[in-house]
Amino acid sequence: MYCRRHAAYRSPLSLIIGVTYKTAWLMLCKIRAALGRVDSTRPLTGKVNGIVAFYGHHATRQYNLRVYPLFAAASVSPTEEVGELKMKLWESVCTEHTGTYRPRKLPLHSDCEHFTKQHIDKTASDISIIRQKYRVRCNNPLYLAFKQAWSWMNDTFHGIGIKYLQTYLDEYCFRYNLSLRHTSPWEQLLQLCMAVVSPALNRSCTPSNDPVLPYAPTAA
């Protein structure tokens, strides 16, 4: 069910397997935690292109408190076709999304350094990240991939709050990257879920009161 084109909702999952809503929610949290772990072990290689993008209400108004900035990057072919894809919130967003957080137009140098260090292989032949949103064209393949992820999250889940946004971005990229490799989603997911999980990771799988962001597409 999870490997279908449309993600598993918590309510149908709880009905199908005969568990409570909360149990279904925790199961899906753990699956997404597994996806995030495997994503962290697969850095981008070769030629890597990246852009900044903004998810949330009125995404063109980048100072809105409910607009969350992220990097969208991928290994690209010589013909600029998008390969392995990653979408990661800026590191400063992950640490500042409490009451002191203020959205910014540009990522900090520490954001770029953290993304490069954590998600791009040291052997990458060429790295190009567009840091200014106004330089990102609407037909940019990475921007189109980001808009597809946006539509998928909002059409399927009716919006994602900041606390869980990264896990849903990781899930989308997992689905996207599997489609490129033409491998069985079920086999991959089974291997991930059978791996040993640190108990510390379970603490992140708790219900959230964070605001939900409905889909509100805007012109770039």
Tokens of 140: 């940019």
Q: What percent of the chain has pLDDT over 90?
A: 30
Question: What is the predicted pLDDT for the residue at 206?
Answer: 44
Judged by average pLDDT, the poorest of 17-31, 58-72, 95-109, 150-164 is 95-109
Q: What pLDDT, on a 0 to 100 scale, did the predictor assign at position 154? A: 87
Whole-number pLDDT of residue 102: 57
Calpha distance 40→38 (Å, rounded): 5
- Show the beta-strand stretches assigned E in the chain: 47-56, 67-76, 82-89, 126-130
The CA distance from 20 to 189, in Å, is 22
The predicted model gives 53-66 an average pLDDT of 68
pLDDT of residue 205: 45
| Torsional sign, CA 151, 192, 88, 51 | negative
The three-point CA angle 138-131-75 to 5° equals 75
Give the Cα separation of 162 and 165 in Å (integer): 5
| Residues in a beta bridge with 88 | 71
- Average pLDDT for 172-192: 82
The pLDDT of 94-122, averaged and rounded, is 77
pLDDT, mean of residues 59-86: 82
Q: In the chain, how long is the greatest CA-to-CA distance?
A: 50
Cβ-count burial of 124 within 10 angstroms (0-12 exposed, 13-18 middle, 19+ buried)?
middle
Quote helix, strand, coil % in the chain, to nearest 5.
Answer: 45, 15, 40
Token look-up 């079920």 returns: 186
Q: What is the arithmetic mean of pLDDT over 100-107?
A: 66
| pLDDT of res. 166 | 93
pLDDT of residue 121: 95
